[in-house]
Structure 1
Amino acid sequence: MAKYTEDIAEDVFVDPVKMSANLTPASDIHDVIIVGAGPCGLAVAARLHEQTPSAVFTDEEHQRYHWIKKHTGKMNLVQAGRCKKNGVRAEKWNRGQRTCPYEDGGAVSARRGSTDSASSVPSLSSDSSTSSAASISTLVLDGTGDQWLQRWNNAFRTLEIKQLRSPMFFHVDPGDRDGMLAYTQEVGREKDLWEISGCVGKEMSKHKKKKRRQSGKPQTLGVEIDERDRKDYFSPSTDLFADYCASIIERYGLNEAGQILKQEVTDISYDYLPGNLEVVAPNSKVFTLTTSTGQKFYSRAVVLAVGAGGAGIQKIFPWKPSNETEGADACCHSMEIRTFPSPNVRSKIQQREQTNVVVVGGGLSSAQIVDMAVRKGVTKVWFLMRSEYKVKHFDIGLQWMGKYKNWEKAAFWSADTDEERLEMMKTARNGGSITPRYTRIVKQHVANHRASIHTRTEVTSHSYNPETRTWALTTDPPIPNLPPIDYIYFATGARSDVREMPILSNINDQFPIEVKEGFPCLTDDLMWREDVPLYITGRLGGLRLGPGAPNLEGARLGAERIAWSLEEILEKNREVGDQCEGFCGLGNRYASLAGEGDDYGEE
């Protein structure tokens, strides 16, 4: 029989039959369950195991925009002159509480009492200086597989993408902002880097300079990205990035057997455990995660880290055939590509017949599909997009990545309303865009008459012929001499709306929150509500993380915020001032070495 919690009093009798039928072993109630084994999930898992994280911003910015905002009006600030003995004495860090022996303890006791009563979850910190994350029970559930980044790696492998779009400082390593650059140099793989030319030292246009003057930004160097940061603006190969992530997984011991389960979560609920299950977690609400197999998992906190194509994310289709007669086997979304090209197109290529493929979309994925289709032997690719052809190095503007990025981020976080933040996100991302590198590739295919680009063009009607297995399309404006199409790829993105995600139906019903165009209005810690420790990171955390939320930078920033809050949630019996002594990376790691008689602080 499984071993149950040792906190059950010895004089409490539990019938063994009822226990086996109704109780969940204490070991099965995890502290944290991460839904999604992609970059966002990996970033959170790694951050929880890092004692000394690299600050995403400077120390002053970190404390100004996170700590102060979080605790404004909630803490009594101690004046420097109130705690003196032969000068200012540093407060001792004790396991139970952090107090000043010469300060009135009334406020401290009140604050501590208010936090202790909220939860009976025991402290996870140890008396030693080792990481508190070592004692945190963590489980990862992913619908794709039981390995980190399995969906991510499969997508890059299927589309034969050799290079990331992101610069070197976009990664999931919580220990070092320049960790990927250091890893590259350490293993001698500088040849796996591509320079992102044209953005470092780039002169601003007169129009942009005028806008910057009107907004009050400095005009000193007249460049968006300083020349001194050139080393950051290289992009890694997909193999280099995969190997770097593997080193992070190994460093933090995140590859243990059973830590990731191939389970697709279909429902999340948050309530008190029924019946005798409360013996395991008395007076505490627990998350119940139900998977497609009917299996249930329990945890005190949940991190929803689903990206594009994850659980509950709805793919956007201009139209979607329901069966093969309507052409279901002659089109697909870019997120659903398993083999390339399709069997029918491959067969025609092998027989040296003419083939025609349509790609609908205006982002980088659409350009990559166009390139691969030409390389695989498709006779001609028709590239359709609703808007203009936009060329950008990154999917967010350079002002969010260069020397003024913290100004932009501060303006975003200081916005008065979520509506204002939403407009800033739309402006910063401005729809799909294609990198200069792939622009050159696609235009070369156009010059060779293997592809044609049609901007501001939409499909107005379509019909599928099951006998010839081809599409007849009409467009606006019309494309002259458009032949029958063998296959259509919809690189049209996905829609993220928490109100339409089946996985969150119970949470939406029981704990409704405000939503702006599908984006939840989370707390600053990316929590659903203050009383619901469900954390959402990645794209859906955009109203708190900013326009970079769907990117690798957003994954690392989201993990930072979640780690701060999880320390508080899982150790609520601590005083507020002690909440970040563990895996938040703050506090004195060597405090436990100091005895009560030490008086070096007085010096």
Structure 2
Amino acid sequence: MYDVVIIGAGPHALSLLSRMLINTPDKYEERPDNKSLFFKNKSGVYKTKVKDNPQTRNTPRQLSTYLRKGGVIDENVLNNICVIDRHGGWMTQWSKQFDALGISHLRSTSSIHPDAFDLHTLVQFAEDHRREGELLEIDGGIRGSKFTGPFIVPSLGLFWDFCKSVVKRHKLEDFVTKGFVTRLLPKDGGYDVCLASGDVIVAKQVVVATGNIGVKRIPGWARDVYDGCVDGSLLHTWDIINNSDATGIHTSDVCKQMVKLNMRNPINNTGNTVVIVGGGLSSAHLVVKAAMSGADQIHLVCRSSIKVRQFDLELEWIGRSRFIKLADFYSMKSFEKRSHVVRSSRGGGSITPYVHQQLVKLQESGRLIIHEDTEVWECNKDENHWSIQLSNGHMVDCYIIWLATGSIVDVTMNPLFCDVIKELPINIIDDLPVLTDDLEWGCGSGLYVMGALGGLVLGPDALNLAGARGGASRIAHRLKC
């Protein structure tokens, strides 16, 4: 029996182990009991002590020494912990997802990463390796009183190499067990972690750190045709990512293969036409990938108007007023109100200014047509092509449809929690579980949840890298007790 089993080996799990291994306290741990950041007034309302952006507590020389030699870590923490991931390696699914969508830079700023030693280790890593050119400075008109910077985001390659260095410094290279967890069964004194292979791993405590494990959101008009489409001409974003995962092919290869197949199609005006449904960043990246792969005509169908903003949250959650927003969130005793904040602060899909510029160029070239405030009314397949009726009156014939319609985050639809909900019932509000302040599934259960399902405790960026860092700080001290 393991003391702790961590399900998933993405940035949430890596952030957790980093926080557990590094003994140095972090002034900026986002927990209501962190007295360096928050205090309760006489009315029981949380307030923040910090009014400026987080600052490093180390000199560049100290950061470089840590990056080169590693810091003081508590290796005893690892004695009886098991990390299980279906790929058998750190952040493999995360990397494949970014690669499949052709994402060049992260959306989060350079201070948000899994290394618990210091917020500025990523920037120092770039400087030490002479890779400052991979730190992209962004502005795009977002500078203001709510956030004055820094506006620096790392490239995917830089962030990936930095995370590999975190794994190496913490001596976690061969720490991940390959396995796909299908069920989580509560039992006296712990849990049975059931794998698809039939093996069962027994644990006293479990951390579910699987990131975005929501159910694919399939629009109503596509449900009848989606399941029956086996030729690859109608795919959800996660299908594209999983195809890349399973076969080693990437989005561009998928696109090229489809275009090549469709060149045999005698129907006019459909051969190189792609329809992408969705209005978020994933849909925009797929537009660019389709164009790069040879699609002559691309239709982007958006249910609402396109929102252009650098971050996927309201700006107050990113800048120096973040701690004020968190204090207000922690003060809310009503989880219904917290749920409203979580959903309203994200405000649906949005596109970064950089990617939006690429869409504008494709529009100007005539290769991209954007249908805003438009829905698909009807979709039919005739032989080897699709006919799509849009609510704006346009009819589009195409061979490829990609659904960039996101996921449904609903704990009741997650197979890992089916038995847990029955055996250890807790309140569920708007599909999210009401966890303890330490992200535990009820006091004393020994089950902890990271990622989007922790939104009622962590706030609207629970799924993001900031949520990984915040979640790690809450769970780590419990697991080390």
Provide the TM-score with structure 1 as the length reference. Answer: 0.69
- The answer to whether the aligner puts 1:225 opposite 2:147 as a matched pair is yes
State the number of aligned residues. 436
- Superposed, 1:539-550 pairs within 5 Å as 539-550=452-463
Residue aligning to 2:431: 518
Residue aligning to 1:557: 470
The one of 288, 292, 298 aligned to 2:202: 298
Residue by residue over 1:509-529, the C-alpha shift from the partner in whole angstroms, topping out at 9 and shown as x without a partner, is: 011011111111000000001
1:65 to 1:300, Cα distance in 2 relative to 1, 3 A: farther
Any conservation in 2 of the 1:199–1:225 contact (CA below 8 Å)?
Answer: no
- Alignment RMSD (CA, Å): 2.5
How far did residue 33 of structure 1 move?
0.8
How far did residue 157 of structure 1 move?
1.8
Any conservation in 2 of the 1:349–1:378 contact (CA below 8 Å)?
Answer: no
1:495 to 1:504, Cα distance in 2 relative to 1, 3 A: same
3-state DSSP class of the match of 1:62? coil
Residue aligning to 2:182: 266
Residue by residue over 1:426-482, the C-alpha shift from the partner in whole angstroms, topping out at 9 and shown as x without a partner, is: 2210011001111111011011001011111111111112x3x21111111222xx3
1:135 to 1:334, Cα distance in 2 relative to 1, 3 A: closer
The one of 146, 158, 167 aligned to 1:240: 158
How far did residue 200 of structure 1 move?
6.0
Residue aligning to 2:234: 331
Any conservation in 2 of the 1:45–1:254 contact (CA below 8 Å)?
Answer: no
The one of 225, 238, 249 aligned to 2:167: 249
- The separation in 1 between residues aligned to 2:29 and 2:140, in whole angstroms, is 25
Any conservation in 2 of the 1:46–1:252 contact (CA below 8 Å)?
Answer: yes
3-state DSSP class of the match of 2:479? helix
- The answer to whether the aligner puts 1:287 opposite 2:191 as a matched pair is yes
- The answer to whether the aligner puts 1:476 opposite 2:399 as a matched pair is no
1:362 to 1:200, Cα distance in 2 relative to 1, 3 A: closer
- The answer to whether the aligner puts 1:427 opposite 2:344 as a matched pair is yes
1:200 to 1:178, Cα distance in 2 relative to 1, 3 A: farther
How far did residue 42 of structure 1 move?
1.3
- The answer to whether the aligner puts 1:139 opposite 2:74 as a matched pair is no
- The separation in 2 between residues aligned to 1:541 and 1:189, in whole angstroms, is 35
- The answer to whether the aligner puts 1:62 opposite 2:5 as a matched pair is no
Residue aligning to 1:502: 415
How far did residue 349 of structure 1 move?
6.1
3-state DSSP class of the match of 1:440? helix
- The separation in 1 between residues aligned to 2:32 and 2:455, in whole angstroms, is 23
Any conservation in 2 of the 1:38–1:150 contact (CA below 8 Å)?
Answer: yes
- The separation in 1 between residues aligned to 2:226 and 2:108, in whole angstroms, is 38
3-state DSSP class of the match of 1:484? strand
How far did residue 57 of structure 1 move?
4.7
1:449 to 1:287, Cα distance in 2 relative to 1, 3 A: same
Any conservation in 2 of the 1:356–1:483 contact (CA below 8 Å)?
Answer: no
1:252 to 1:474, Cα distance in 2 relative to 1, 3 A: same
Residue by residue over 1:101-149, the C-alpha shift from the partner in whole angstroms, topping out at 9 and shown as x without a partner, is: xxxxxxxxxxxxxxxxxxxxxxxxxxxx972644541111112x11101
> Which 5+ residue runs of structure 2 have no aligned equivalent?
45-71, 245-249
- The separation in 2 between residues aligned to 1:347 and 1:327, in whole angstroms, is 14
Residue aligning to 1:207: none
Residue identity matched to 1:293 = S
Any conservation in 1 of the 2:31–2:474 contact (CA below 8 Å)?
Answer: no
- The answer to whether the aligner puts 1:46 opposite 2:39 as a matched pair is no
Any conservation in 2 of the 1:249–1:255 contact (CA below 8 Å)?
Answer: yes
Residue aligning to 2:363: 446
1:322 to 1:192, Cα distance in 2 relative to 1, 3 A: same
Residue aligning to 1:85: none
How far did residue 348 of structure 1 move?
3.9
Any conservation in 1 of the 2:32–2:327 contact (CA below 8 Å)?
Answer: no
Residue by residue over 1:521-578, the C-alpha shift from the partner in whole angstroms, topping out at 9 and shown as x without a partner, is: 000000001121111011110110101111101101100100022123xxxxxxxxxx
Residue by residue over 1:250-290, the C-alpha shift from the partner in whole angstroms, topping out at 9 and shown as x without a partner, is: 0111112xx21221111111212xxxxxxxxxxxx121100
1:160 to 1:350, Cα distance in 2 relative to 1, 3 A: farther
Sequence identity percentage: 30
Residue aligning to 2:62: none
- The separation in 2 between residues aligned to 1:50 and 1:345, in whole angstroms, is 50
The structure with the greater share of residues assigned to strand is 2
- The separation in 2 between residues aligned to 1:199 and 1:462, in whole angstroms, is 39
Residue by residue over 1:24-48, the C-alpha shift from the partner in whole angstroms, topping out at 9 and shown as x without a partner, is: xxxxx11111111111111112222
Greater Rg by CA: 1
1:179 to 1:270, Cα distance in 2 relative to 1, 3 A: same
- The separation in 2 between residues aligned to 1:384 and 1:142, in whole angstroms, is 35
Where has structure 1 moved over 3 Å in runs of 4 or more? 57-61, 64-69, 132-136, 198-201, 320-328, 346-354
- The separation in 2 between residues aligned to 1:536 and 1:60, in whole angstroms, is 18
- The separation in 2 between residues aligned to 1:350 and 1:554, in whole angstroms, is 48
1:323 to 1:425, Cα distance in 2 relative to 1, 3 A: closer
How far did residue 485 of structure 1 move?
1.1
- The answer to whether the aligner puts 1:172 opposite 2:94 as a matched pair is no
- Superposed, 1:198-217 pairs within 5 Å as 198=140, 201-202=143-144
Residue aligning to 2:48: none
Residue aligning to 1:373: 290
Residue aligning to 1:584: none
- The separation in 2 between residues aligned to 1:324 and 1:362, in whole angstroms, is 23
Any conservation in 2 of the 1:302–1:535 contact (CA below 8 Å)?
Answer: yes
Residue aligning to 1:599: none
Residue by residue over 1:349-400, the C-alpha shift from the partner in whole angstroms, topping out at 9 and shown as x without a partner, is: 6999841111111110100000110111101110011111111110001111
- The separation in 2 between residues aligned to 1:58 and 1:488, in whole angstroms, is 41
How far did residue 61 of structure 1 move?
7.1
